[in-house]
Structure 1
Amino acid sequence: MNDTIQSLRRDAANIFRAGIDAADPFQAVARSLKADAHQLEIALDLEHPEQKRVGQWSKVHLIAFGKAACAMADAAQQIIPTDCQAKPGIAVTNYENASAVDNIRVFAAGHPLPDDAGLDAAKQVAATVAQAQPQELVLVLVSGGGSALLPYPTDGVSLQDKIKTTDLLLASGATINQINCVRKHLSKLKGGGLAKLAAPADLHALILSDVLGDDLSSIASGPTVADDSRYADAVAVLHDKALWDKIPQTVRVHLEKGCRGEIAETPKSGDPLFAHTGHTLLGSNRISVNATLQAAQRLGYETILYDDHLCGEARGEAEKLVLAAKQRQRQGLHKATALLAGGETTVTLTGSGKGGRNQEMALAFALAAERHGLNGDWVFLSGGTDGRDGPTDAAGGLVDPATVKLIAGAAALLDNNDAYNALKQSQDLLDTGATGTNVADLQVLLILPTDSR
């Protein structure tokens, strides 16, 4: 590997890290809360600090769930006076991110597929929230991964049946919104269920978004907000993905009962129970993409926002990005250029290999770059801000012009959805470890002018 490529790889990794740092969960919570002996102030918009919610709640019940739960809970418990905290608070996170927090019971659970530990934690959360009284506050700290980490299936549907349904949806190429639509209608907590349990106490959610567009009803499947999707929408998703005949019978029966009105819908917009709820968006993919743009500029790159809502099949989006880079080269690159993106692609599984959407996109980019003749020095990084891409220990991939040459049968491995083992061969796996946050994915493409070597 020549020195130029090594330098580009370092820059790409540093730009990616800037995006992760912008979503630091501890600092985000610390910026949003202010307390003294008499009252608690909650920022409603971090960009407009004058907008705040102020209350003199007798007790604050701390509930955190998601990949950033421990860091968020730690920040909150340090700020809120100890004698105001209902003991103990609860944090539910994935196994990699679990750590001890003062005054908080920490539960580690499965992600991306839920497990029995998550179910036990969800029952504890439900029981705690249901105890909240008028003049008390349920402070909910939400981060990415919350849907899987807090499974509480509705009556008649087992956790294993819900896991199978989720597994089928993940493998089908369904979007996160489609998956959450189904999960909300199989859950006691999602789709406004947690807010329903908290009433008549006040509730406020501090939210770190891993959903493109920051739709609050989709983040962690919207446990604290109204859900305007219906049972019929969940059924439509399963039919659209050709899964209706594959899901467990208990799930079909439950959804059919919901469509017939035999089971209550999730709470909708305008429901009086939401009169005492509030929400603050602490971080998002958009905020992290902006941070990568600033980092690339500081490193001297001409920056181009390629897409701040990147979605679609990972390998297809990779090829589109290669073609966009080729177009830039034809127009003439006069200085080092960074094409930056953020979002969440999907993968429709057809093989039996190992990987995640970011590894798949990185390998597909390397193959497409060779196929279309992307010349000169370049590197491409695609990574998950949580540091875990799919069911692997890598955050994604970081590839360059030599990648394909170092992989035996790269195209066949991609066809088998085996990007992890392909990139392991070329030593192009992106390894950050668990980051403690999650605001979806970031992509960094760095290209030098062809005469700059």
Structure 2
Amino acid sequence: MIEQAKTIFRAGVEAVDPQQLIDQYCTLKDGEFTIRDTSFDLSSIEDVWVVGFGKASARMAYALEKLLGNYVSGGVVITKYGHQLPCKTVKIREAAHPVPDERGVEATKELMHLLEQTSSRDLVITLISGGGSALLVDVPSEATLKDLMLANDLLTKSAASIHEINTVRKHLSTLKGGQLGRAIYPAQGLSLILSDVLGDELSVIASGPTVADDSTFSQAVAILQEYHLWEKFPNSLKELLREGVEGRRQETPKKEALSLQQMQNVLLGSNRMALEACQAKAEELGFQVKILTYEFSGETHESMEQLWQQLQREMGSLRKEARKQPICFLLGGETTLNVRGDGLGGRNQHRALLAAELIQGDHSWTILSAGTDGTDGPTDAAGAVVNGTTVQVLQKEGKELSQYKEAFDSYTYFKDSAFHMITGPTYTNVMDLIVAVNNGQ
């Protein structure tokens, strides 16, 4: 069951591989480049430039180069360390995620320098995926990189949602929240986007750098206050936000902004696509399949308790129907983990730890929780897969689940065990997948 759960997960990841998506949805014929319902006559365009940022951006650039060939004049793409790929004309730069670093700052300057050379006769293709908020990093002149690093660390470790976190990020930047569109204008713009947010809201993915933004400085301040971060926030950034509230700083571009009128934003891949591929694979393996939700969210502990109750109800209904066929329940989304310990891990490994506690002794269940990007929190693990024996097996190795749970140290709990999922970079990113399989007995 563990191997089958992994096979189902891998099918979901493969379905949203950028190479697969570009092969499926993009064509080039007689100089006409078409992506879904949007087309560009490349023979009438002077230069095609490729820029991008995110965990999947290097793979997106690699696939796009293969399709467009000599039409690509050059570009700069910023991805996470360890996600480098050999592109021919597009320069791939690596930087830190989720907390930005100096390499990210320098790569962003290089990207912006390229955009300064574009004209109205050009096409700029922007490749956007999850992780882009930390990788496209400009430091306000009044602040330091250290200030920005602290701000990102506070935000990502809080209970704030990604929508709320990115509202703040947009207003600490001159590029996020549609502002990159100002730098691209007057060139034509096309953004190819992989969604890692609930509801696939384009203005939230990587902080929506090429999408109109309806959030405000006042909302950013309110979010910091709601999660008790305002007092901990660097003074330089608080002053920047105050200036914005008082109207002394330009707001992010709204939908009527001229700089965004020539921008086409196309959703290339999503968690829903991955889940549907998981469903197809599970059915192929002989499972009865039910997708429980495309928007699994909430606080990690609470959502896991609710999920376990739902799984028990679902199985109760199936038993009344006297069905003994193995069943696979699928969920996609992203929960929030409010870290209160000093351990190492991420929401997927912590969710798997909670699942191991809930199903211990029940040999009918196997539950996998993993990130489609191959990275869970600041670790090299994608997540973990557990069954009814996990707690007992690791207990024999001297690992008491309660201690690791309290310390939020799920990575160490699963480390060097058969339950840990180490996939390496997947070069894609569409949130998390949960695969819960029951043997039907």
TM-score, length-scaled by structure 1: 0.92
Q: Secondary structure at the match of 1:389?
A: coil
The alignment status of 1:9 with 2:2, answered yes or no, reads yes
Is structure 2 residue 22 aligned with structure 1 residue 35?
no
How far apart, in 2, do the equivalents of 1:154 and 1:239 lie? 21
Pick the aligned partner of 1:171 from 141, 157, 166: 157
Q: CA deviation at 1:211?
A: 1.2
Cα-to-partner distance string for 1:248-267 (whole Å, 9 max, x where unaligned) = 00010000000000000011
Instruction: Give, as a single letter, the amino acid of the residue that structure 1 aligns with 2:53.
Output: F
Following the alignment from structure 2 to structure 1, what is the Cα–Cα distance between the partners of residues 408 and 304? Answer: 15
* CA displacement at 1:240 relative to structure 2: 0.8
Matches within 5 A, 1:394-433: 394-405=381-392, 406-407=394-395, 408-424=399-415, 426-433=417-424
- 2:67 aligned with 1:67: no
The amino acid across from 1:279 in the alignment is N
Q: Give the Å deviation of 1:199.
A: 0.8
Which stretch of structure 1 is more off in the superposition, 197-206 or 153-162? 153-162
For residue 113 of structure 1, report the CA deviation from its aligned partner: 1.1
Relative to structure 2, which stretch is displaced further, 251-260 or 314-323? 314-323
Q: Counterpart amino acid of 1:289?
A: L
Q: Does the Cα contact within 8 Å between 1:29 and 1:206 map onto a contact in 2?
A: no
String of CA shifts for 1:149-205, please: whole Å, max 9, x gaps: 111123312221111011001111211111111111111211111110011111000
Conserved? CA contact 1:318–1:368, under 8 Å: no
Moved more, 230-239 or 403-412: 403-412
Tell whether the 8 Å contact from 1:157 to 1:186 is kept in structure 2 after alignment.
no
User: Alpha-carbon deviation of 1:302?
Assistant: 0.8
* Mean CA deviation greater in 196-205 or 421-430: 421-430
- Which shifted more, 306-315 or 234-243? 306-315
Which residue number in structure 2 is paired with residue 4 of structure 1?
Answer: none
Amino acid aligned to 1:335:
Q
Of the three residues 85, 96, 114, the one matched with 2:72 is 85
Separation of aligned partners in 1, 2:69 and 2:353: 50
In the TM superposition, what whole-angstrom CA distance separates every residue of 1:387-427 from its partner, at most 9, and x where no partner exists? 01001111001001011112322022111101111122653
* Partner residue in 2 for 1:358: 348
2:62 corresponds to which letter in structure 1?
D
What's the secondary structure of 1:172's corresponding residue?
A: coil
Contact 1:318 1:362 in 2 (8 A): no
* Paired residues of 2:359 and 2:387 also in contact (CA < 8 A): no
TM-score, normalization by structure 2: 0.94
Q: 1:424 and 1:33, CA in 2 relative to 1: closer, same or farther beyond 3 A?
A: same
Unaligned runs of 5+ in 2: none
Contact 1:317 1:361 in 2 (8 A): no
Counterpart in the other structure of 1:273: 259
Matched, 1:96 2:71: no
Q: Contact between 2:359 and 2:365, CA under 8 Å: does it hold in 1?
A: no
The residue correspondences of 1:259-270 to structure 2 (distance < 5 A) are 259-270=245-256
**Structure 2 equivalent of residue 386 of structure 1:** 373
| More divergent stretch after superposition (168-177 vs 153-162) | 153-162
The alpha-carbon deviation at position 81 of structure 1 amounts to 4.5
Secondary structure of 1:97's counterpart equals coil
**What is the one-letter code of the residue matched to 1:399?**
V
- Listed one character per residue, the Cα deviations across residues 191-222 of structure 1 (whole Å, up to 9, x for unaligned) are 11111001111100011111111111011111
Secondary structure of 1:278's partner? strand
Matches within 5 A, 1:11-410: 11-35=4-28, 39-43=31-35, 45=36, 51-55=37-41, 56-82=44-70, 84-86=71-73, 88-331=74-317, 332=319, 333-370=323-360, 375-405=362-392, 406-407=394-395, 408-410=399-401
Amino acid of the residue matched to residue 392 of structure 1?
T
SS for the counterpart of 2:428 is: coil
1:28–1:243 Cα change, 3 Å: same
Q: Secondary structure at the match of 1:379?
A: strand
Q: Secondary structure at the match of 2:199?
A: coil
Distance in 2, matches of 1:42 and 1:164, equals 42
Asked if the contact 1:315–1:365 (Cα under 8 Å) also holds between the matched residues in 2, the reply is no
1:159–1:269 distance in 2 versus 1, CA, 3 Å: same
Whether the aligned pair in 2 keeps the contact of 1:69 and 1:91 (CA below 8 Å) is yes
Distance 2:5 2:180 in 1: 40
Change (3 A) 1:342 1:270: same
Tell me the secondary structure at the aligned position of residue 82 of structure 2: helix
Decide whether aligned partners of structure 1 residues 427 and 376 sit closer, same or farther in structure 2, where only a CA change above 3 A counts: closer
